[in-house]
Amino acid sequence: MRRPLLLGLALVCTLGACGSRLNPLNWFDPAETANMATPAAASPVMQDERPLMAQILSLDIEPTRGGAIVRAVGLPPTQGYWNAELVARPVTDGVAGFDFRAVPPEKGAAGPTQQSREVTVGTFITAYQLTTIRQVTVFAAGNSLTSRR
């Protein structure tokens, strides 16, 4: 019992004196920890390159157990729009804003009917976030729709 304990203690002391990466005290560099603690020095905010949807047809907010689901239906000018998303804006004065964005197709064809071009997206708002939100607005290039409590 004594021998393994003494060997282990000697190994820890030997590794502690080393400047290698095997030393547990050298695993985390203090400079890296300081940079991680400041989020402003992290990375610049990326701009969303997707254009706004041409028009919003409907906006529904469906309550759920943990918050609410915001669902919007948009109408692009042609078929083939993809990767659609409601991109959140910062909440200001109790108003939660979302930009309806989607990637246009390389070659879009006008659909035979409006229903064939419609794009539906949704996002989730937690119950905690809803305590400060009294209005939800979804923005498109041509119009915006608002729902109030």
Domain hosting 32: range is: 2-41
Identify the pLDDT of residue 32: 37
Q: For the chain, how big is the Rg over CA atoms in Å?
A: 26
Pair 37, 92 in one domain: no
Q: Are residues 30 and 69 in the same domain?
A: no
Residue 113's identity, in one-letter code, is: T
Counted domains in the chain: 2
Residues 9, 76 share a domain: no
Average confidence (pLDDT) per 10 residues, the chain, 149 residues: 74 63 48 39 68 96 94 93 95 95 85 87 95 95 92
Tokens of 42: 């992290």
Do 124 and 68 belong to one domain?
yes
Beta-sheet strands, E only, within 43-94: 55-64, 67-75, 82-88
129: helix, coil or strand? Answer: helix
pLDDT for 8 equals 74
Please check whether residue 47 lies inside any domain of the structure: no
73 lies in the same domain as 134: yes
- In a domain, residue 6? The reply is yes
d(CA 135, CA 145): 11
